[in-house]
Amino acid sequence: MRTHMNINQIFGPDKLEELVLHISAMSEKDSHFASTKLNKLVWAADFKAFCQTGRTITGAPYQKEKYGPVPRAMPIVLRRLKKEGRLDLKPVKMGDKTGVRPVAKPGARVDSSAFSQQDLRVVDKVIAENFGKTGTAMSIDTHKRLAHKVAENGETIPFAAWLVSARHPTEHQKRHGQALAAKYATKS
């Protein structure tokens, strides 16, 4: 039996839409802002929130794409915001490539009620830390991560997988791990 699934059933009440609109409005003066950077900023905010709280801001599943993780519903969200008249998608020259720049329309109001104050602080900090950087510069971190290296394009990557590292632990980390193992070892 086939059922219709609403985008809100996938990841909550329009959080990704509102985050896209917020980031687009806040990045208006960033000459390097285009769709690739939008994806990077959304991922970075979700990742930072996940590391701090154990949950992402949007709840959106991410898939691997050539330039890094992308919320699976991003194309739907961009089309819907454009159709609602809240966002324009303008062609823009980015170096030797042509990209698409999401631009919040004047008067388009972001419904921030879906976000906690902590969520908004995380997002705004991510935007500020990456203002003026290119999407390519932001890709360096995600492309080094094991989750990006082992996943196939289009594959959904569980968010916790982004925490897995291929680097060797430091001596301090080894001692800490051994101490925890000894402390919590069960007696057989």
DSSP state of 170: P
Contact 89, 104 (CB under 8 A): no
pTM to 2 decimal places: 0.81
Q: Determine contact, residues 76/20, Cβ cutoff 8 Å.
A: no
The answer to whether residue 7 scores a pLDDT higher than 60 is: no
pLDDT recorded at residue 12? 46
Backbone angles phi, psi at 159, to 5 degrees: -60, -40
Instruction: Give tens-digit pLDDT for 75-95.
Output: 999 999 999 999 999 999 887
